[in-house]
Amino acid sequence: MAPVDAPADLIAPPRPAPVPAAARLAYVLAHFGQAYADVPAGAIGPAGSGAPVEVADRTGGFFSQTHPQPGAPNWRDWHGQRVPFFFDDDARPLLTLTPGRAEIAADIISAAFYLLSGWQEYFSTERDAHGRFPYAASVQARYGFVALPAVNYYFDVLKTALAHATGRALPLRRGPGGAPFAACITHDVDSLHGGWGTAARHRLRQGQLPQLLKLLWRRARRRPGPWDNLELVQAETARYGAPSTFFILGDARPAPNGVPNADYDARAPAFRARLGRLAAAGAEIASHGSYGTAHDAARVAGERAALGPPAPRGNRFHYLCWGPARTPGALAEAGVGYDSTLGFAEHYGFRHSYCRPFFPFDFERGRAAGFLEIPLNVMDATLHHPKYLRLAPNELLPALAPMLAEIEKFGGVATVLWHNQNFDPANAANGPRQFHEIMGWLHGHGAAFRTGSEIWAEWPAAQGPGGF
């Protein structure tokens, strides 16, 4: 059942909005040019165009109708990796290389547009109780490739064809400062005052009676509780030279359907001073758009303004709420520089099958939205939750490592969400130990740790009017 404040367009089918071939090609090539340096203009075109690189047109009218999913993908081998190619019913080899020319048999332009634009979410009518597009309804779930960034592989195919046809090297743009990739460590702050019961039960189970008495004394004296720990979160993250990006809820009132927002007052002067100290120590303060605002530019703008001045550059919606029809337009209208909502709550991986920041497609306006999306790859709650995955404590990093390795391979950004309450040692399932295992992997593989704003500032084309 939909919550009472879910915007109607998250549930009802949106109006058809066919996207012309030229707009699809421009959207895909703009992102290709952000991923690889030295891409020449005009070198890629459809079959029969005479361009040095010709890509087969296998849309079959798909983009002038409203089905959320195309036919099943054709799985091909690409340098030892099985990759799903949509819009590919061809038995020919993927690449045909002749002197000065290349032909690509799969329609990787259409497949890249389909996945990167989020077409499946815009045209699907499936929504969960929070108005979200469910992982179970996705092509990633249906064909089993959520941890594979298929669009990055399509771009690798395109780069290979283009390098052959033009003789240019087309190097991959990697992480800042020569790092192989970047990582963005984020913390959504939903609760500061909870956690007393969890901590008390943990100490009781461990037989830590003095610590239990101390906890009860602190509770009685109204001292900060176990989750009131933002400075600890920052210090634990800084052990790897990583800055924290905190997403702060601007609204303490529950949503009309009872979903809680903050249990703290972000406007209280003492709390504002505390956020200022965290920022002075290197953290970024961003806005955690409250429940029910993902379609509402005025409320997004109001919550951002309340955390300023200056208003924070970044946003992530509470509960990862996102309505593909109206959220891109609302975020752009509210003046957000970047968003980091787009991951599946139910599964780690790549919701848009892409491991680098990108500009979401605004179907209402038929073009890229003017803010950068830093896609979310892994949320602590996803890994161990009755409704999501139920990985054992020692299964988390082995499950995530192949996905993280894909981000490293393509010079992307590994975005991690670890809530402040999961820095409490009472959590042995997806708590501080598992956080440190993930951080150890990222640090050991040479990630450049950045805040969301730093990634925005260093990303090509992020500051231009309208994105690019």
Q: What binding mask, one character per residue, do residues 112-151 give for Zn ion by CB under 5 A, x or -?
A: ----------------------------------------
Q: Which of residues 79-118 bind Zn ion (CB under 5 A)?
A: none
- Whether the Cβ atoms of residue 157 and residue 49 lie closer than 8 Å to each other: no
CA gap 203, 213 in Å, rounded:
9
* Residue 127 or 187 having the CB closest to Zn ion: 187
Query: SS3 for 388?
Result: coil
The reply on whether position 419 binds Zn ion by CB under 5 A is: no
Pick between residue 304 and residue 318 the one whose CB is nearest to Zn ion: 318
CB closer to Zn ion, 150 vs 379: 379
Instruction: Output 188 or 408, the one with its CB closest to Zn ion.
Output: 188
Per DSSP, the residues of 301-321 read HHHHHHH-SSPPSEEEEGGG-
Q: Minimal distance in Å, beta carbon 223 to Zn ion?
A: 25
Residues numbered 171 to 200 that lie near Zn ion (CB under 5 A) are 188, 190
Q: Smallest distance, Å, CB 10 to Zn ion?
A: 18
Classify the phi-psi angles of 110: left when phi > 0, otherwise alpha if psi is within -120 to 50, otherwise beta. alpha
Total interface residues for Zn ion by CB under 5 A: 3
Fill in the DSSP letter of residue 14: P
Of 146 and 320, CB closest to Zn ion: 320
Task: Tell me the closest approach of the beta carbon of residue 129 to Zn ion, in angstroms.
Answer: 16
Instruction: Return d(Cα 317, Cα 247) in angstroms, integer.
Output: 9
Question: Which residue number has the CB closest to Zn ion?
Answer: 318
Query: Which pair of structure tokens corresponds to residue 297?
Result: 């530019």
Query: In whole angstroms, what is the distance from residue 186 CA to residue 419 CA?
Result: 8
Give least dist CB 331 to Zn ion, A: 17
* d(C-alpha 298, C-alpha 210), whole Å: 50
Nearer to Zn ion, 190 or 303 (CB): 190
Binding mask 298-337 for Zn ion (x = CB under 5 A): --------------------x-------------------
Shortest distance, CB of residue 191 to Zn ion, whole angstroms? Answer: 9
Which is nearer to Zn ion, 120 or 382 (by Cβ)?
382
Q: Is the peptide bond before 14 cis (omega within 30 degrees of 0)?
A: no
Strand extents, DSSP E, 263-422: 284-289, 314-317, 338-339, 361-362, 367-368, 372-373, 378-379, 413-417
Task: Give min distance, CB of 235 to Zn ion, in A.
Answer: 22
Compute the least distance from the CB of residue 360 to Zn ion, in Å: 20
How many C-beta atoms lie closer than 10 Å to residue 1's C-beta? 6
The residues of the shown chain that bind Zn ion, judged by CB under 5 A, are 188, 190, 318
